[in-house]
Amino acid sequence: MSKIIKNILFDFGGVIVSLNKQQALDRFTQIGFPNIEEYLGEFRQKGIFLEYEEGKISPENFYKEFRRLSGSNATDAEIDSGWLGFLAGIPEYKFQLLKDLRKKYNVYLLSNTNPSVMKWAFSKDFSPEGLNIGDFFDKCYLSYEIGYAKPDREIFDSILADGKMDPSETLFLDDGKANIEIGQKMGFQTYLANQDEDLRKVFTDRGLL
């Protein structure tokens, strides 16, 4: 029998925000990165793109390396726009869902992401009412700040220590199978999410709403 849930841990891309990888590939290609598909994966990036998400390279150096590798003269804003191409929008009901869940649980975000995406997420453009992502979570755990990316065990160790969470009392929602598998090994209650489903049903079916 599952233990009582005290914490809910959300992935961002593919769980909160819908993703459109092809749009990102197209944008990066348009600004002059011809082999971009070699660097961008479904759930984890490669090369300088992974270094950016793990905080191993600063935004300034990422932009510089992007231009060097691609031979492109793309501006910083154009490169940011490529990253934002991944984001296909957030269904409005999810904003209210997060508010409702926070009335009863500690609600956290755990995302493989980078400063280009979070610059937008921490702005008033994040939600229709002008609230930023930090207004919807007790804390946002971001790969580039922690120094590791899912499914590395270290990123989970870090958030458990920081949030003083018991994984058995934490429901972890992610759309990546490898991320869910490591979560299960570490004792989390888990749910493999699909960005097209209605998450309200996930919580009502479990008696959490």
Structure tokens at 182: 């490591």
CA distance 40 to 13: 14
Structure tokens at 14: 């593919």
CA distance 59 to 169: 36
Q: Which of 11, 80, 174, 175 is catalytic?
A: 11
Rounded to 5 degrees, what angle do the CA atoms 54, 60, 61 make?
65
Query: Which residues face 139 on adjacent strands?
Result: 108
CA distance 187 to 190: 9
11 is known as an active-site residue: yes
List, by residue number, the catalytic residues: 11
